[in-house]
Chain A
Amino acid sequence: MMKVTVKLFATLRHNRFKVAEHEYSAAPTILAVAEELAIPREELALTMVNGILVSVEHVLQDGDTLSIFPPVGGG
């Protein structure tokens, strides 16, 4: 089993959580984690692993911290 810390920001916390530890039997992509959390792809504006900007296809490793930010575009 591998563990990933998932941090959600801004509107993504609504009906979800701020931070949670998830366990996976196989290394998931960010897209798979988002799907599990019912976060639509268009709400994945910034995905960072251990503070580094990565693509949604990025495969997570044991001990990673994934942070997800939604698109903010108003003025």
Chain B
Amino acid sequence: MASLSEFLLSRLEDEMISWQVQQEAANRFKLTTSQIEEEILNAGFLPARYQRNCKTISVAEQQLLFRSRVTVIGCGGLGGYVLEELARLGVGQLVAVDHDVFEEHNLNRQLLATISTLGRFKADVVAERIASINPAVEFVPIKEAFARENSERLLAGSQVVVDGLDTIGTRLLLSSVCRELAIPLVHGAICGWFGQVATQFPGEDTLEKLYLRCTEDRGMEKIYGNPSFTPATVASLQTAEVCKILLGRGSLLRKRVLCLNLLAMELDELQL
């Protein structure tokens, strides 16, 4: 029988391996599609699903993304979109933390809230979604609320943590734990037509500057709620930040916050 590398080489098309071949290889060599994806990337080839990443993300960078682990805290408005985008981007290991189930009031904005997912755990629904997009992504759903007690276990081994939380107190806890564990944190928050994005590296206190003066656990979203487009916009900006951190490219929103006003279509950058 041909070796795995011979099997893949003989089925290479334009330096790419199709999903069908990736699956056939997994069955034939009794490996997971994730292991096959690693083999393809190690050989310097590309799983065909990433072909439209073209010159934006090189094969070497695609391999870097595949070897990365990102933890998303919260699978609601922001987290649902971030997880979708990270899975499509090709981040190899994703962890999602959320103890909630989908409710009717999530339907106006949360990507994975549908009639059929009402009452189901968000983390379980994300698992199905990611498996349907890319089974080569190793996904760990955690149906727990993020707390001081479980924080180290949940974040261990992550290169980046994404803030998809909806309370200020828990955000400040997340910020403090990320600083202790020396993990970059990509913050996002939304309120009506408005949102904000910032990236905090170890040693920085961006979230404290943003929130320490807040005496209440919720911001103005308690009055204004959130429509469909604000979480999608802010989550996409967060995902771009995660991608750049993992690849070591571009300019990050460090020591500054980007404030979005989708009503006036204004972007303001504040130095913190």
| Chain A residues engaging chain B, CB cutoff 8 angstroms | 9-11, 18, 42-46, 48, 51-53, 56, 67, 69-75
Contact = CB atoms under 8 A, between A and B. Distances in A.
Interface in B167-212: 167-168, 171, 188-196, 209-211
Main secondary structure of the interface of B (DSSP, over half): mixed
A11 B211 contact: no
Interface stretch (B21-29, B44-52, B73-81, B241-249): B73-81
B219 A72 contact: yes
Interface of B: 74, 76-79, 163-168, 171, 188-196, 209-211, 213-221, 223-226, 231, 259, 261, 264, 268, 270-272
Contacts, number: 100
A75 B77 contact: yes
B224 A73 contact: no
B219 A45 contact: yes
Given A9-B261, A42-B214, A53-B272, A73 B78 contact: no
Contact of A73 (B164, B189, B209): B189
A75 B168 contact: no
Contact of B76 (A10, A73, A75): A75
B214 A72 contact: no
B113 to A, nearest CB: 14
Contact of A43 (B220, B231, B270): B220
